[in-house]
Amino acid sequence: MSGTAQGPWAAIRRVAASDRISGLIMLGFALMGLVLANIPETAAWFEHLSHFELGVPGTNITMGVGHWAQDGLLTIFFLVVGLELKQELTTGSLSNIRAAAVPMLCAVGGMIVPPILFIAVVALFSRYGAGDPGSLLIANGATFPFSEAAHGWAIPTATDIAFSLAVLALFAKALPGSIRAFLMTLATVDDLLAIILIAVFFSSLNAWYWFVGIAVCAVAWYFLVRMRKVPWFGVAVIGILSWVMMYEAGVHPTLAGVLVGLLTPARAMYGERSPRAERYADKLQPFSALLALPIFAFFATGVHFDAITPMLLVSPIVIGIIVALVVGKPLGIMAVAWCSTHLGSLRMPKGLRVRDMFPAAVACGIGFTVSFLIASLAYANAELSAEARFGVLLASLLAAAVSGVLLSRQSRRFEARAAAEQTVPDVQRGSGRTETTLADGTVVLSQSIGGRRKEPAHDDGAGSSGRRTKRGRRARR
């Protein structure tokens, strides 16, 4: 009976743990939202569903279903991010600052260059585009001042770690684990910087006493999750209260998940086999990957356009986001990686060169989740927000396609190199002896006599003169 009960949940956890499958599920929901919002037969139904209001009893918190997906469900994703950040900062890749210095700096470079390119593209359109000087003409024919369009500068700063790792899983099976670890560290720091960016630039602070409430909830969470036997009902109540306090304080409420995640212990306690932050993240991962993110993507891309025309592809906002994510992200990452290793004293992980990171850097141009969130926060105008989210979707798909091709070619090169290392002739000077490693790890020594090589035979245990075979694994350099 227990095996039957555990079977479906075990299967769900395996699906959620697969970057490839969970990424494709989220992409499928995103495309479905875009289609349903723009088909005449379903557009009205989708609009009604998205704006159907639900409220929290006893509070003034009332939002449409679409906003609940963004501000409520997405908190689960940010809680997982907070737990993983705490684990990485305590015992993971971010605990050794020197070892993680290059990918951490690359994350900063990958967040600085895209906004510069976005502003540059928008400025060029405002000066030389079809609209009046100083304004931009978007796809539906409306014009907006440059200052309003420039509010979207933060949209292309984020990297979607789930999608970028899904692309690696699909196209880069033969790549060394150091490339995945580099990307993981970079994307983790990118998430942390995006959280700071949202908190600083997209929060409208309200009365001070709400922040006192946040502090009280934080202290309560800190002590509750460190008890020998955690009172889960109390933890759930404190988590919900911290979300409400964040909302009322004017801070984006999803950051409540990050706050409590960072306050969770990341070292084993009371003789437990694994840290609580790691265990909680594993348990919440299915809800984040298969519930929160797909539903959020469904409503985030479900924007209605008066007409989906080719004019969308030449919209200043769309082109600016595409250039920023597809060009700016890898440009910032590679420039910082080169400068920090060639002009500075830092070093890449062992066995990696700066140029080896280019395909993975292109994959960092997949914005998606956090970029969708920032697009909805950056623009108050529905049309600008809709075009920005459409731009994020196109840019992410383009970055995924380009990085997929580059990663596939790079993976084949690493695979060919690994195969070549299986058979490496090593002729010792002056001895006429050749050492060859076969595919199964067998090392064969053969002796040249009188200018001819005497082929080795299978060792019969008699210790034949001039030839012998020894088995053993040779460590790759």
242/136: higher pLDDT: 242
The DSSP symbol for 290 reads I
- Could you read off the pLDDT of 306-334 as tens digits, one per residue? 666 777 888 899 999 999 999 999 999 99
CA 216 – CA 201 distance, rounded (Å):
24
Say which range, 138-147, 280-289, 427-436, has the weakest mean pLDDT: 427-436
- Could you read off the pLDDT of 148-163 as tens digits, one per residue? 999 999 999 988 887 8
CA 363 – CA 398 distance, rounded (Å):
10
Q: Which two tokens stand for residue 140?
A: 């539906």
Q: Which two tokens stand for residue 25?
A: 């599920």
Q: pLDDT confidence of 449, banded at 50, 70, 90?
A: low
- Could you read off the pLDDT of 296-307 as tens digits, one per residue? 989 988 887 766
Q: For position 362, what pLDDT does the model report?
A: 93
Is pLDDT of 264 > 90?
Answer: yes
Is pLDDT of 417 > 80?
Answer: no
CA 262 – CA 277 distance, rounded (Å):
9
Q: For position 179, what pLDDT does the model report?
A: 82
What pTM, to 2 d.p., does this model score? 0.79
- What's the average model confidence in pLDDT over 459-469? 43
In the chain, where are the structural domains located?
A: 11-203+252-417
Residue indicated by tokens 């692309």: 167
The CATH number of the structural domain formed by 11-203+252-417 is 1.20.1530.10
Is pLDDT of 164 > 80?
Answer: yes
- What's the average model confidence in pLDDT over 49-69? 86
Spatial neighbors of 417 by CB under 8 A, at least 6 apart, are none
349/291: higher pLDDT: 291
Q: In the chain, pLDDT over 90 holds for what percent of residues?
A: 35
**Radius of gyration, CA atoms only, the chain:** 27
- How confident is the prediction for the chain on average, in pLDDT? 82
CA 143 – CA 222 distance, rounded (Å):
50
Is pLDDT of 445 > 70?
Answer: no
List the alpha helices (DSSP H) in 91-176: 97-128, 146-149, 161-171
- What's the average model confidence in pLDDT over 266-290? 91
Is pLDDT of 422 > 70?
Answer: no
Q: pLDDT confidence of 463, banded at 50, 70, 90?
A: very low
